[in-house]
Chain A
Amino acid sequence: MTTLAPHRDPAIVSAASAALAGFAAECRLVRAASALTDDGFTIARIPQVGTDERLASMASTLQALTDAVVRELRIGRTDHLQVVASEGAVVVRRVGTQRCAIVAVFDEPPGPDDLTDLETAAARLAEAWPAG
Chain B
Amino acid sequence: MAEYVILFAGPMGAGKTTAIRSLSEIEVVSTEVANTDREAFDKPTTTVGMDYGEIDLDPDKVRLYGVPGQARFDFMWEILRERAMGLIVLVNADAPEPERHVYEHLTAFAELARRGGVVVGVTRYDLQRTDIGDRIVATARAVLPDRVTPVFAVDARDQEQMRTLLLSLIADIETRQAVAEAAS
Residues of A bordering B, CB below 8 Å? 2-8, 37-41, 54, 57-58, 60-61, 64-65, 67-68, 72, 99
Q: With A39-B46, A67-B31 known to touch, is A5 a contact of B36 (CB < 8 Å)? A: yes
B34-A99 in contact (CB<8A): yes
Q: In the complex, A6 Cα to B42 Cα: how many Å?
A: 15
B75-A38 in contact (CB<8A): no
Residue of A3, A7, A40 near B72 (CB, 8 A) is A40
* Number of B residues with CB within 8 Å of any CB on chain A: 23
B33-A41 in contact (CB<8A): no
A61-B31 in contact (CB<8A): yes
Instruction: Find chain A residues with CB under 8 A from B38 CB.
Output: 2-3, 5
A2-B39 in contact (CB<8A): yes
Instruction: Find chain B residues with CB under 8 A from A3 CB.
Output: 38
Asked if B29 is at the interface (CB within 8 A of a chain A CB), the reply is yes
State how many angstroms separate the Cβ of A130 from the closest Cβ of chain B: 14
Asked if B142 is at the interface (CB within 8 A of a chain A CB), the reply is no
**For residue B52, which residue of chain A has the nearest CB?**
A68
Asked if B76 is at the interface (CB within 8 A of a chain A CB), the reply is yes
B75-A58 in contact (CB<8A): yes
State how many angstroms separate the Cβ of B80 from the closest Cβ of chain A: 12
Residue of B39, B48, B50 near A39 (CB, 8 A) is B48
Instruction: Find chain B residues with CB under 8 A from A40 CB.
Output: 48, 70, 72-73
Instruction: Find chain A residues with CB under 8 A from B168 CB.
Output: none
B49-A61 in contact (CB<8A): yes
> B29, B31, B33, B48 — which one has the most chain A CB atoms within 10 A of its CB?
B48
Sorted nearest first, the 10 A-B pairs with minimum C-beta distance are A64-B31, A5-B37, A38-B33, A37-B36, A64-B49, A57-B72, A2-B38, A61-B49, A65-B49, A64-B48
